Structure 1
């Protein structure tokens, strides 16, 4: 189901600035918000591992394309960073859903994009203009 949202198209390419990352993340959170009943049901059921594993696979692939192994990541194991970041992201999405979406998709996208930037998950060679998303 996630593969049908706008995010799935953007995760297939390298994102080069913070604004583009926030737009992509916002698209994912809006999609989840629009399909809240489905996602809430998937997480609250006992067979959530299938959903979680599918989401992890998608997010790992996206992070693998985005990660910058220079700077703070230079001496780190790439697979470890990918798995750690993807697990944190999926856990955050689960938390957001289970807590009745306490933040807007825009807020979630902005804050997660900032966390990704801090951890060199996407190339931030272009200066990012921090703007609120529509």
Structure 2
């Protein structure tokens, strides 16, 4: 992709994010974005159909960035190091993820994140139960809901505990689970 196109899209997205934080999604207009970015309205429409399309692309971008960070971290298994890496990334990018997770209008972000975490739990952990009483689906959704709930709580409450504390607590909570499931 042409660098100018990338720069323009990034400018539009950054402007949009700043306006979201200031005004909320409902009050942001394409005119606001164009004016703040110091570009023509038509330029915004050249790259995005409307503000809903821009929101979708923004969500996809930040989900991908989180995924890429996780994929590039040294650990490919869900352990203390992997959890710590995720929370370090979220801490560094706190503002945008707080915005995307805390606004009720962005349910798509949470839904997309849930799907990705569930896939990761299924694929990375491999969930192979030694006890047939454990359902892989129930286990996957229990762990996914729990992790996403903790992640949302941590972000929405402005990181009330440090990364080491949250990682240790998650590992403690997962300990009984790992006794029943081969990882």
- TM-score computed with the length of structure 1 as normaliser: 0.74
Which aligned pairs between 1:5-84 and structure 2 lie closer than 5 A? 5=69, 7-9=70-72, 13=76, 15=77, 21-65=79-123, 66=125, 67-71=127-131, 74-84=132-142
Q: Which structure has the bigger radius of gyration?
A: 2
Structure with the higher helix share, 1 or 2:
2
Conserved 8 A contact 1:116-1:122 = no
Which ranges in structure 1 are unaligned for 5 or more consecutive residues? 124-134
TM-score (norm 2): 0.56
Deviation at 1:57, TM superposition (A): 1.5
Counterparts of 2:141 and 2:98 in 1: how far apart (Å)? 23
Instruction: Tell me what 1:127 maps to.
Output: none
Greater RCO, 1 or 2 (C-alpha within 8 Å, sep 6+)? 1
